[in-house]
Structure 1
Amino acid sequence: MRDPDQLLARAGVRGNPKKDQHFLIDDRILDRLPTYLDEITATTGTILEIGAGTGALTDRLLAAGDHVIAIERDQELVEFLRKEFADAIEEGRMTVIQGDALSVELPEFDSSVSNLPYGVSSEILFRLLPKGRPLVVTVQKEFAERMVAEPGTSDYGRLSVSTDYYADAEIVEPVPPEAFSPPPAVESAVVRLQPTIGADTVSDPEFFLRFVKAVFTQRRKTLRNAIRNTTHISGITDANALVEEISEDLLRKRPGNITPEEFATLAEKAVAYTDD
């Protein structure tokens, strides 16, 4: 396997925190990342990597899957990747796409393993999750804890409910700052996500996520007041009529104590009171 420090040297680049660039350089963690797919998918097939950087993880993914699609927005790094992995590209085992992962058209893939930029982790994650594919992502530890948080805990919120709708999420490994170059100011963690979409599918996923977002803007209010106060976000046209359909026990709860399953049921009721 390619040495991550040598890749950095050959690329002639240094991570730039201002650009959210922190290159994962710990060999042991890099070696383990592809293995976290093993328990949640029968075949890795085509693996998508967001933010390939200098290719340290890419190199490991090439050994794990049939084909790797690497998305990288930095032109200098794209040119390096195409030169460094020219053989794999020529053999048809690797594709490099230059572009911003927030806006490029995502290709078809069977699984994804990525070291996500902290600043846009949620936006990228919610482009990946609806694809219903196994994911392994390295993210900020605090973000990871919110992804897997249970109802009634301080970390539980919109991210927890939204993640739960698409997948079973599990923190599988902490990642210290010194595993990166340059080291970030925060701890990180690896999260494995096994898709579950279809198990508790709602009829309108877009509304479901909008409804959850709306209610959590009023997380200190009861559900009754949260629904009434956020119609400009949710698009609900008759909040009072909706409230009359919901049990008093649930209406007294605050959003942080409502389970993902209860949110799904609520969204199914609420969508009937929109113009969608």
Structure 2
Amino acid sequence: MATIDGLPPLREVIAAHELVAKKQLGQNFLLDLNLTAKIARQAGDLTGCDVLEVGPGPGGLTRGLLAEGARRVLAVEKDARCLPALAEIAAAYPGKLEVIHGDALEVDVLSHLTPPIRIVANLPYNVGTELLVRWLTPKVWPPFWDSLTLMFQKEVAERIVAKPRTDHYGRLALLAQWRCDAKIVLHLPPEAFTPAPKVHSAVVHLTRLAEPRYPADGAVLSRITAMAFNQRRKMLRSSLKGLGPQVEAMLEAAGIAPTARAEEIALEQFCALARIVAAG
């Protein structure tokens, strides 16, 4: 599909604006508008939603989101070279696209968005995980967004959806699955991108839960899982000894064998331990 909206194909847009992807910005452009529309559809019905997009680049996914009927798109782009291409999209969709030139780690997006809000993005590789963690750890839950549909390196995507006793299971899986339903909805090979990265990619869809899956204090849960997975090869009675002399008793009270290792412990058990530690 050369175009979905009367605008030029992305290869022409990139050539016209001399948009060579910059490695230091974590850029890999998706040029297939069939594919960007498919990614947009993974976010569900967008007709009644504002959509936050981070790192739109030349606007392939932006065009997919607008073509799929998003009520409004707020695109945050750090690279000033991409702004003229995005301005052309905004002109084709009057009142539907707002572009902010800035760093997504610093921009206050809430004043520009009206609920319900979904976040859909082909995240720059160098900030993707940090942005996800921020979105998963607001001071108040539920957060401002209803769902996240995000592209990551395949390995990061697998860490988000991983289950206990698997290689990818760790803090990111616990953080995501404590408050969300998470699933991989699309795989993309390197050749889907320009330039082609050295890794495969995957799109993860996360739907927020109204409240965490199991009760626990977020700060305590974070501290315990950091201690456990920072020394994931050690038995928990050793990696969690910083919790105090009663660590074995606390583990047993949570139904966890003191000789177990972090990768064997399910989210529900970590939450039980966090409640015991908080009460102690």
Q: Does 1:124 align with 2:147?
A: no
Instruction: Give the superposition deviation at 1:33.
Output: 0.9
Q: Secondary structure at the match of 2:120?
A: strand
Alignment partner of 1:72 out of 67, 70, 77: 77
Q: Secondary structure at the match of 2:42?
A: helix
1:163-190 per-position Cα deviation (integer Å, ceiling 9, x unaligned)? 1112111111110111111111111111
Instruction: Give the superposition deviation at 1:122.
Output: 1.0
Structure 1 contact 50–71 (Cα < 8 Å) conserved: yes
Alignment partner of 1:106 out of 109, 117, 140: 109
Amino acid of the structure 1 residue aligned with 2:57: G
Q: Secondary structure at the match of 2:86?
A: helix
Alignment partners' CA distance in 1, 2:79 and 2:46? 33
Structure 1 contact 17–184 (Cα < 8 Å) conserved: no
Change (3 A) 1:42 1:262: farther
Partner residue, 1:33: 39
Higher helix share: 1
Instruction: Give the superposition deviation at 1:196.
Output: 2.0
Amino acid of the structure 2 residue aligned with 1:263: F
Instruction: Give the superposition deviation at 1:201.
Output: 4.9
Return 5+ residue gaps in structure 1 as ranges: none
Instruction: Give the superposition deviation at 1:272.
Output: 3.7
Change (3 A) 1:59 1:257: same
Partner residue, 1:169: 182
Partner residue, 2:140: none
1:67-87 per-position Cα deviation (integer Å, ceiling 9, x unaligned)? 101011112223442344235
Return 5+ residue gaps in structure 2 as ranges: 138-142
Change (3 A) 1:111 1:13: same
Amino acid of the structure 2 residue aligned with 1:25: L
Instruction: Give the superposition deviation at 1:112.
Output: 1.1
Change (3 A) 1:221 1:74: same
Structure 1 contact 16–182 (Cα < 8 Å) conserved: no
Alignment partners' CA distance in 1, 2:38 and 2:118? 15
RMSD: 2.1
**Residue correspondences, number:** 261
Structure 2 contact 55–78 (Cα < 8 Å) conserved: yes
Alignment partners' CA distance in 2, 1:65 and 1:252? 51
After superposition, residues 15-26 of structure 1 pair within 5 angstroms as 15-26=21-32
Give the alignment's TM-score, normalised by structure 2.
Answer: 0.85
Partner residue, 1:81: 86
Partner residue, 1:160: 173
Partner residue, 1:254: 261
Alignment partners' CA distance in 2, 1:99 and 1:42? 25
Q: Secondary structure at the match of 1:77?
A: helix
1:20-48 per-position Cα deviation (integer Å, ceiling 9, x unaligned)? 1111112222110111122xx78651011
Alignment partners' CA distance in 1, 2:123 and 2:11? 19
Structure 1 contact 219–255 (Cα < 8 Å) conserved: yes
Structure 1 contact 202–208 (Cα < 8 Å) conserved: no
Give the alignment's TM-score, normalised by structure 1.
Answer: 0.86
Runs of 4 or more, structure 1, over 4 Å off, are: 41-44
